[in-house]
């Protein structure tokens, strides 16, 4: 397989790739004899769009899925579409004063990134920003975990996160970082305008330099006896607090 393509596994991931980005689907492999109506639907949609479809044995699917749960469907897909940081101003401007950007500072686990993308898409976020280095990129596992969100929401890769935050500020975006060691509450923030919410990676949280470029820091109040939340859970909390505030306007 070319380094410019990858295998996407799972019914939702394959169906989403066909629906939202069919031109980059190279071929679809489906389990021979499978009677799942979703698989039949995938086959029909793929053939209608001129995508090659092959029915193969389960063992063949196991081999190309690389350990992912494929549910009888995999697709060879062109390398993930990502946005360059120079495209971010256009995305922010198109939001007309209500940009909602999720910034992830060094998330390493593809399952966490996939879950963050899913929450961001559900919240109607403008974009998700990730560093090019020292962070997981959008791969087959991320696509699978995101349940199609990785193909629906702009994922902007930046070479220098601090510079990216500075450019967002120049565009009129307020930058708020989430940290567990500060006094300010998430629920005291005004999240109704142009806002970027910055979450740190697993374990270390926000890096020092990233914190310095935030306009403010806040924590998620947790009355229970826990010090922190998984980054994907925290992303869902902060994004939907922004959604709540915007719907209340």
- The arithmetic mean of pLDDT across residues 187-206, rounded, is 93
The residue among 105 and 138 whose pLDDT is bigger is: 105
Tokens 């109607």 locate to 124
Query: Largest Cα–Cα distance of the chain, in whole Å?
Result: 58
Could you tell me which CATH class the domain 83-247 is placed in? alpha beta
Helices (H) and strands (E) in the chain, counts: 9, 11
pLDDT at 147 over 50: yes
Domain boundaries, the chain: 5-78, 83-247
Please name which of 68, 60, 1, 69 lies closest in space to residue 30, comparing C-alpha atoms: 60
| CB neighbourhood size of 248 (10 A) | 7
So what's the architecture of 5-78 in CATH? 2-Layer Sandwich (3.30)
User: Cα–Cα distance between 163 and 68 in angstroms, integer?
Assistant: 36
Average pLDDT, the chain: 91
In this predicted structure, the answer to whether residue 2 has a pLDDT above a threshold of 50 is: no
Least confident of 6-15, 177-186, 188-197, 209-218: 6-15
164 φ/ψ angles, rounded to the nearest 5 degrees:
-65, -40
Q: At 149, is the pLDDT very low, low, confident or very high (cuts 50, 70, 90)?
A: confident
Dihedrals phi, psi of 115, to nearest 5 degrees: -65, -35
With residue 64 as reference, give the H or E element that holds it.
helix 58-65
What is the rounded CA–CA span in Å between residue 16 and residue 7?
Answer: 14
Q: How many CA atoms lie within 13 A of 99 on its CB side?
A: 28
Q: CB-side exposure of 104: number of CA atoms within 13 Å?
A: 38
Query: Does the structure show a pLDDT above 60 at 1?
Result: no
Name the least confident of 19-23, 102-106, 205-209.
19-23
Q: What is the mean pLDDT of residues 195-202?
A: 95
Question: SS3 string of 124-143?
Answer: CCCEEEEECCCCCCCCHHHH
């Amino acid at each position: 397989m070319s380094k410019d393509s990858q295998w996407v596994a799972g019914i939702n991931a394959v169906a989403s790739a066909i629906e939202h980005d069919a031109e980059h689907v190279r071929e679809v492999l489906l389990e021979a004899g499978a009677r799942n109506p979703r698989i039949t639907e995938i086959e029909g949609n793929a053939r209608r769009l001129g995508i090659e479809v092959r029915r193969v044995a389960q063992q063949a699917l196991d081999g190309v899925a690389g350990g992912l749960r494929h549910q009888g469907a995999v697709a060879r897909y062109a390398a993930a579409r990502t946005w360059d940081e120079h495209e971010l101003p256009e995305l922010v401007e198109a939001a007309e004063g209500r940009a909602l950007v999720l910034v992830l500072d060094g998330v390493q686990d593809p399952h966490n990134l996939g879950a963050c993308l899913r929450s961001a898409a559900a919240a109607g976020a403008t974009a998700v920003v990730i560093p090019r280095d020292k962070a997981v990129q959008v791969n087959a596992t991320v696509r699978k975990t995101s349940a199609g969100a990785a193909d629906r929401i702009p994922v902007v890769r930046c070479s220098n996160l601090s510079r990216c935050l500075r450019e967002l500020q120049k565009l009129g975006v307020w930058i708020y970082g989430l940290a567990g060691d500060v006094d300010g509450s998430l629920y005291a923030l005004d999240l109704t305008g142009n806002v970027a919410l910055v979450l740190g990676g697993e374990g270390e949280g926000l890096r020092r330099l990233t914190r310095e470029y935030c306009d403010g820091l806040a924590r998620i109040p947790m009355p229970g006896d826990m010090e922190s939340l998984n980054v994907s859970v925290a992303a869902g909390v902060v994004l939907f607090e922004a959604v709540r505030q915007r719907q209340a306007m």
